[in-house]
Amino acid sequence: MRNAWLSFAVALAVGVAQLAAGAEEPAPTGYTDTPLLPGSRWRVHDGDRPHPQVVAPGTFSSDEQPGKPPSDAIVLFDGKTLDAWQTEKGGPARWKVENGYMEVLAGSGDIFTKKKFSDYQLHVEFREPAPAAGHSQERGNSGVFLAGLYEVQVLDGYDNITYADGQVSALYGQAPPLVNAARPPGHWQTYDIIFTTPRFTGGKLSKPGYVTVLLNGVLTQNHKELLGPTVHHALPTWVAHDPDMPVKLQDHSMPVRFRNIWIRPLPQNTN
Ligand code: MG
């Protein structure tokens, strides 16, 4: 018995010592004698370069269950309320909310985030009405408008022929998706969008805007340069706007559902 107590005491002492050692500052890493990276104030392997923030990744979604957002995401829709959304004029968003999703209420208008964002990663899930009804642009049409102006098309793209730059995951009227990665209607689909908003100086475009899109995990737009705000049946022309703008979801009078919407504003240049 006495030996058992002794072993316990020794183990405890070792544990405390290890804890104390763990609390010490880690040994310095990196180099001070390496060349400066071009256009940067940091050297190759610079030990003083700030470490990226730690983010706990989320989980993937299934038809039955939305995934969890990453730990640093701003949740824009958690399946319960439209508190983060409003109409164009600032009134309450009136889309239907039930069973963990929102659904376009035809005629109630587009909805906009109350918060504004410039460059970001945006996650949106949508579900096309089943059984499918209508053809071409009249089948499950909605849209995710970046900066409230640049549409990533939402449409039933499964076995539904329409013009290429109007199908699901197109930058509407500007760029068809690289591939058609649509799932059948009635299944939840995911958009992961990376957006760099265009910048304007003196009312003129000074830096282009770019859009990258993954539809259901498949790359469909690869750092595509925007041509201007989305228009129908015409060429876009630039309209200057602030970097910070809302995200808009489109009421195209069809009962498309959305769930699990979150956004991660991107850090600015870390050169
Ligand atoms: Mg649309």
Q: How many Cβ atoms sit within 10 Å of the Cβ of residue 57?
A: 10
Q: How far is the CA of 98 from the centre of ligand 1 (A)?
A: 23
Distance separating alpha carbons of residues 119 and 110, to the nearest angstrom: 21
Domain co-membership, 3 together with 128: no
Residues, Cβ < 5 Å to ion ligand 1: 141, 143, 250
Answer whether residue 1 is part of any domain: yes
Q: How far is the CA of 83 from the centre of ligand 1 (A)?
A: 23
Distance separating alpha carbons of residues 113 and 2, to the nearest angstrom: 68
Domain co-membership, 108 together with 239: yes
Domain co-membership, 41 together with 163: no
Q: How far is the CA of 262 from the centre of ligand 1 (A)?
A: 20
| 188-213 per-position pLDDT tens digit | 999 999 999 999 999 999 999 999 99
CATH code at position 210: 2.60.120.560
Distance separating alpha carbons of residues 166 and 153, to the nearest angstrom: 7
Domain co-membership, 146 together with 254: yes
Q: How many domains does the chain have?
A: 2
Q: How far is the CA of 168 from the centre of ligand 1 (A)?
A: 9
**Residue 178 CB partners (closer than 8 Å, separation 6+):** 219, 220, 221, 222
| 98-157 per-position pLDDT tens digit | 999 999 999 999 999 999 999 999 999 999 999 999 999 999 999 999 999 999 999 999
Q: How far is the CA of 88 from the centre of ligand 1 (A)?
A: 17
Q: Is 77 exposed, middle or buried (0-12, 13-18, 19+ CB in 10 A)?
A: buried
Domain co-membership, 97 together with 3: no
Domain co-membership, 24 together with 83: no
Answer whether residue 42 is part of any domain: yes
pTM for the structure as a whole: 0.89
Answer whether residue 67 is part of any domain: no
Residue that is last in its domain, among 51, 66, 91? 51
Question: Which residue segment(s) compose the domain that 34 sits in?
Answer: 1-51
